[in-house]
Structure 1
Amino acid sequence: MKNKLSKYFDVHKPVFWPATILIVVFITVTLIVGEPMEKIFADIQEGLSNYVGWFFVLVTNLFLIFCIVIGFSKLGKIKLGGKDAKPEFSRGSWFAMLFSAGMGIGIIFWGVAEPMNHFLSPPQDVESPREAASLAMQFSFLHWGLHAWGIYALVGLSLAFFAFSRKLPLTIRSVFYPILGDKIYGWIGDVIDVIAVLATLFGLATSLGLGVKQVNSGLTYLFDIPDTVTTQVLLIAGITLVATISVFSGIDKGVKNLSELNIRIGAIFLIFIIAVGPTLFIFDSYIQNLGNYIQNFFSMSFWTESYANEGEGGWQNGWTVFYWAWWISWSPFVGMFIARVSKGRTVKEFITGVLLVPTLLTFLWMTAFGGTGIWVQLNEIADIGPEIVANASTSLFVLLEQFPLTGIASGIGVILVINFFVTSSDSGSLVIDSITAGGKLDAPVGQRIFWAVSEGAVAAVLLVGGGLTALQTAAITTGLPFAFVLILMMFSLYKGLMKEHARNLAKDKETDFESYQEKLKSVLGKRSEKGTKKKEG
């Protein structure tokens, strides 16, 4: 019986069982309490945002600055996996997997909705609609740009370094070895991994919940299927089933192939909107949006609404604070995933690739879709703003109605969201599976299925228990404790990289000395031969 069970499950019990019990308790309480949970979720979100919003703003900036300094310092030359390590994936495949895992569903859901929301309800005072449009794109870039990827880069680099260079298990606890030593194998390490599992699961559930709301809206538009919570729960069940099938293929086939397919479909979709939309405006505004983002980067990054008039604040709680918490709770998943595919990259290459490439692609997407939505509203081509603000999940399809081939484009949009849903779900299953299995990279398939089903179940329960508010609350609540884990992670990574740098210097000196000895022997040998020949002559 034990052998049969181990065929499907190979768990690290001190992490697997506490995490599982806490998740089951959450699901049970939410279902038992029922409708009042929506009010409870709203109160929790408001309370946390009001009292710790400043903390999320501070640490998110800190994580980004740390990554940039590390990447472009003397530590940037360190290669993940040792000097002889070679990348397992081409740069193209690597970028595709980074982008699919890191943003995916999110930019499709918010790509139109967020800029439109900021345009109609500007976060700061503006004097004209065109100024509101510029500000809307700046804040959209802020939320989806370098800060998000700075968080992912910190976690991904830490995991990749300690797993590949120090040969420790690929799990969150391993990152703290320079600080905790062998204590990472005790209860402290177990607590760290349990927090990571919960943060990952609820971060994933937030994305999956947003994704399924958008799929439902697309199907309602295309086939008049009811846009209800019941439909969304059924969709989660169906798409989760597809994700569990993909899980069997693992990361080298299933996840890699799906990620590349997503990029291809996404590229076609992006080219389509650029071609049929205001092409020149998209390219012009992309350049201007980048310039505005760079110019106002620090003022936006550290803005906390502290000087807002009494009763006027609160915008940041629903947007910036939510995003920073979401990215932090999402970071164990994305970080571990990009760590697994980044062996053989140097620290500088890793930081540069993770920060710049997905960010620039995301900005182009936001400009093409969100910017086009603003263009439609700004030029009074159609009054799409109120409908988008009322229901963010319909935003993409409302925009596509303004252009040719609406039905085909909407169908592609639904397929893209479903594909990203599946990619996120099976990638997340692999990651959580690794953490709860004690860092094993190839744990039994049964565990992956269990976690894929759990992710879908939590997403469904959150939708039943409070919709979008519940999803946002889950992200903020789990992001807060994990933010402290990331702070310790910075110190641990720095300590580990410094030791690695010192070792590399010692090895280089040793190699140089050996090379010098060889050259010296060679020179002395040649002189000795010449001397012998002269004597013989």
Structure 2
Amino acid sequence: MAKKKYFDFHTPVFVPSALIIILFVSITLYVGEPIEKLFDEWQMALYDNVGWFFVIVMNTMVIMALVIALGKLGKIRLGGPTATPEFSNFSWYSMLFSAGMGIGLVYFGVAEPIQHTIAPPKPVGSQVKAAEQAFQFTFLHYGVHPWGVYGMVALSLAFFTFNRKLPLSVRSLFAPILKRKIYGPIGDVVDILAVIACIFGLATTLGFGAQQLSSGMHFLFGTEDTVRAQVIIITLVTLAATTSVILGLDKGVRVLSEANIRISVIFLFGMLILGPTVYLLDSFIENVGLYFQNLLEISSYTEVYSETAWQNNWTIFYWAWWIAWSPFVGIFIARVSKGRTVREFLVSVVLLPTAFSFFWFSVFGSSAIYLELNGLAPIGEAVDENISTALFDMLGHYPLSKLMSFVGVLLIIGFFVTSSDSGSLVIDSITSGGKLDAPVGQRIFWALAEGALAATLLIGGGLVTLQTAVMLASLPFAMLLLIMGYSLVVGLRREQRKNMRMKIRRLQRRGMATWEYNYREIIEENEDDDD
């Protein structure tokens, strides 16, 4: 069948997904300002009633990732025993990190630690104790839990796509359970839920990026910092992302992702040098130690004995955001990960970005807390007034503030563009039935649609609207994640048995195996032989 030139939609997924998105946007714009209050009520009701479920799902994904990586299944190679990686390690790390949470690090790098310091999640006796607790919860939100979810979704997609030759689509995750039914209405519903979760998670990220970029431009050039300015920024960045999408994965997304990582490293070490260097290094070591020391406690925290809404506004929102983001990040990481072993994949996807995130927050967050604790600048008040200006308020109290702010703006733009263009590739893949090379016109459509959605939701109610949309979209997908985990284990075990049979046949052909071999000895040989 000839390849379609401009559009190649899988209609049962594309049409319902588009209609749901259009309906949500239309109602938001039609109702206007009252919708923000309604969304706020919905958001709190959802958080209060299902927050415990998000906590269970996130912890389950981390435990499963750990068990799979350290167990016998970790030796399975994505794409088969002879598959080789398509991208270098640096390109691979750059793409998975840029797609994962680049904007989140820049937006919350200063804001979250300083906010938790001035308003501690749990009551403490001093501001120093508040700062210690601030990093524990910040690391919880950006550590092994989000990357554990990303890693499990990405691993599942990569395995079923490259080893089972199924479409690169969320429906493929359930093949061991649904079998041929993944190609029917049930599979379509799964993909629709993934598209909805993905596009609203992406819209939230673009909304945060637009707000911070607008604040940065205001700080550098005195431009207006309004919703109108944010919409203009989204429009311009969407056009840049569209250009990247046209260039494709290798020439567009890969190049931008590598540039983002280089700028990130320059920005990070620039702050380390310009800030209180020894204090920042000390804080990194202590923050990591306190995080692991209290990981079990904070990861199971449900605020049951507290009457505050802190967890709803922070941890539960983050869990919903990461879950909504996981189909996008999962498909994108899976697409570029052929040839990696399961163990290499999980260790790289979960631990390396976590370590980088911890260092990032320790440098930027501790630079702000240093000013606050020593009475050098009221950073807490400034951040409390406008969270999107946090980074630039902090930089303003250190040398080369204008230069560092300019680099920060470049970084936000870079992460903004890579989030949008890689998101377009992912949604395009799902709505085209899992194709890896859908027509360019289709990718352009989704790049423009994502920008339009983010801008519309900002106009219709700001971050409250975006956060509510994420929560509504992520809840059904959170349920699917638990089923996905079981399905992946079933698939990996079948793959292990298949590889074992292939190993036995190779040994027999070489005259190295007989039927007198003990079954356990064959298994041990298979585990120790990388051939």
With normalisation by structure 2, the TM-score equals: 0.95
CA contact (8 A) 2:154 2:330 kept: yes
Q: Does 1:384 align with 2:379?
A: yes
- Partner SS state of residue 139, structure 1: helix
- Partner SS state of residue 511, structure 2: helix
Distance 2:465 2:135 in 1: 26
**Matching residue of 1:110:** 108
Distance 1:57 1:6 in 2: 44
CA contact (8 A) 2:76 2:341 kept: yes
CA contact (8 A) 2:257 2:418 kept: yes
**Matching residue of 1:534:** none
**Matching residue of 1:532:** none
Distance 1:349 1:14 in 2: 36
Stretches of structure 2 that go unaligned for 5 or more consecutive residues are: 516-531
CA contact (8 A) 2:193 2:476 kept: yes
**Matching residue of 1:272:** 270
The alignment covers a number of residue pairs equal to 515
The partner residue of 2:248 within 241, 247, 250 is: 250
CA contact (8 A) 1:215 1:414 kept: yes
CA contact (8 A) 1:142 1:300 kept: yes
CA contact (8 A) 1:211 1:417 kept: yes
For residue 458 of structure 1, report the CA deviation from its aligned partner. Answer: 1.2
CA contact (8 A) 1:137 1:371 kept: no
For residue 452 of structure 1, report the CA deviation from its aligned partner. Answer: 0.7
Distance 2:70 2:249 in 1: 30
The partner residue of 1:338 within 309, 333, 339 is: 333
Give the alignment of 1:275-354 within 5 angstroms.
275-308=273-306, 312-354=307-349
For residue 106 of structure 1, report the CA deviation from its aligned partner. Answer: 0.7
**Which letter does structure 1 place at the counterpart of 2:278?**
L
CA contact (8 A) 1:116 1:389 kept: no
CA contact (8 A) 1:164 1:343 kept: yes
- Partner SS state of residue 175, structure 2: helix
Q: Does 1:478 align with 2:488?
A: no
For residue 143 of structure 1, report the CA deviation from its aligned partner. Answer: 0.4
For residue 515 of structure 1, report the CA deviation from its aligned partner. Answer: 2.1
For residue 519 of structure 1, report the CA deviation from its aligned partner. Answer: 11
More divergent stretch after superposition (452-461 vs 206-215): 452-461
The partner residue of 1:447 within 442, 447, 459 is: 442
For residue 22 of structure 1, report the CA deviation from its aligned partner. Answer: 0.9
CA contact (8 A) 2:29 2:460 kept: yes
For residue 418 of structure 1, report the CA deviation from its aligned partner. Answer: 0.8
With normalisation by structure 1, the TM-score equals: 0.94
Deviation per residue, 1:460-498 (Å, 9 max, x gap):
112112212122112211111100111110111011001
For residue 6 of structure 1, report the CA deviation from its aligned partner. Answer: 3.5
Distance 1:519 1:204 in 2: 56
**Which letter does structure 1 place at the counterpart of 2:430?**
I
Distance 2:131 2:514 in 1: 67
**Matching residue of 2:47:** 49
- Partner SS state of residue 249, structure 1: helix
**Matching residue of 1:525:** none
- Partner SS state of residue 340, structure 2: coil
Give the alignment of 1:87-106 within 5 angstroms.
87-106=85-104
Q: Does 1:496 align with 2:491?
A: yes
**Matching residue of 2:527:** none
**Which letter does structure 1 place at the counterpart of 2:434?**
G
**Which letter does structure 2 place at the counterpart of 1:471?**
L
Distance 2:25 2:462 in 1: 14
Q: Does 1:374 align with 2:369?
A: yes
Deviation per residue, 1:54-101 (Å, 9 max, x gap):
110111101110111111111000000000000111111111111111
Distance 2:276 2:2 in 1: 60
Distance 1:299 1:457 in 2: 41
The partner residue of 2:257 within 256, 259, 265 is: 259
Q: Does 1:132 align with 2:130?
A: yes
Distance 1:481 1:517 in 2: 51
CA contact (8 A) 1:151 1:328 kept: yes
**Matching residue of 1:529:** none
**Which letter does structure 1 place at the counterpart of 2:458?**
L
**Which letter does structure 2 place at the counterpart of 1:253?**
K
**Matching residue of 2:393:** 398
The partner residue of 1:487 within 456, 474, 482 is: 482
**Matching residue of 1:208:** 206
CA contact (8 A) 1:240 1:453 kept: yes
- Partner SS state of residue 306, structure 1: coil
Distance 2:402 2:158 in 1: 43
Q: Does 1:184 align with 2:179?
A: no
Distance 1:384 1:412 in 2: 21
**Which letter does structure 1 place at the counterpart of 2:134?**
A
The partner residue of 1:360 within 355, 362, 367 is: 355
Deviation per residue, 1:338-376 (Å, 9 max, x gap):
101110111111111111100000111111111111111
**Matching residue of 1:535:** none
CA contact (8 A) 1:212 1:232 kept: yes
Deviation per residue, 1:309-351 (Å, 9 max, x gap):
xxx3211000000000100000000000110111011111111
- Partner SS state of residue 104, structure 1: helix
Distance 1:123 1:494 in 2: 36
- Partner SS state of residue 161, structure 1: helix
**Matching residue of 1:66:** 64
**Matching residue of 1:225:** 223
For residue 514 of structure 1, report the CA deviation from its aligned partner. Answer: 2.2
**Which letter does structure 2 place at the counterpart of 1:325?**
A
**Matching residue of 1:163:** 161
Stretches of structure 1 that go unaligned for 5 or more consecutive residues are: 521-537
List structure 1 segments (4+ residues) > 6 angstroms apart after TM superposition. none
**Which letter does structure 2 place at the counterpart of 1:502?**
R
**Which letter does structure 2 place at the counterpart of 1:244?**
T
CA contact (8 A) 2:99 2:329 kept: yes
For residue 513 of structure 1, report the CA deviation from its aligned partner. Answer: 2.2
**Matching residue of 2:525:** none
In structure 2, relative to structure 1, the CA distance for the partners of 1:370 and 1:158 (3 Å cut) is same
CA RMSD for the aligned pairs?
Answer: 1.5
Deviation per residue, 1:137-181 (Å, 9 max, x gap):
111000000000000011000000000001111101011110001
Distance 1:154 1:409 in 2: 36
For residue 518 of structure 1, report the CA deviation from its aligned partner. Answer: 8.9
